[in-house]
Amino acid sequence: MSELVIGLTLVAGGTSLPELATSVLGGLRGERDIAVGNVVGSNLFNLLAVLGLSALVAPMALPCPMRCCGSTYR
């Protein structure tokens, strides 16, 4: 296994530990809203941030199969 994979795995685990601790403590204290909100908010942010950054780094054009692309379509 390469050092890059090991390093990225450790970084991913380290950045997820605060979210895990918040969710576990919220669940143990009976504050399920905090636990669920933390998980949903974290996943939503991670998904949108990764998609947004990857679109900025490597934008790609999608071909339009319809004939109306060159004209104004109403």
Residue 67 is predicted with a pLDDT of 63
* 39 contacts: CB under 8 Å, gap ≥ 6: 19, 23
The answer to whether residue 5 sits within a structural domain is: no
In a domain? residue 55: yes
Q: pLDDT under 70 in the chain at which residues?
A: 62, 64-74
Q: Which pTM does this prediction carry?
A: 0.55
- Tokens 């669940």 locate to 27
Domain that holds residue 55: 31-60
User: What's the pLDDT score for residue 69?
Assistant: 59
Asked if the structure places residue 56 within a domain, the reply is: yes
Can you say how many angstroms the Cα of residue 12 is from the centroid of all Cα atoms in its chain?
12
Between the alpha carbon of residue 16 and those of residues 1, 19, 51, 73, the distances in Å are 22, 5, 19, 46
Domain tally for the chain? 1
Domain for residue 17, yes or no?
no
- Distance, in Å, from the CA atom of 5 to the CA atom of 7, rounded to the nearest integer, reads 5
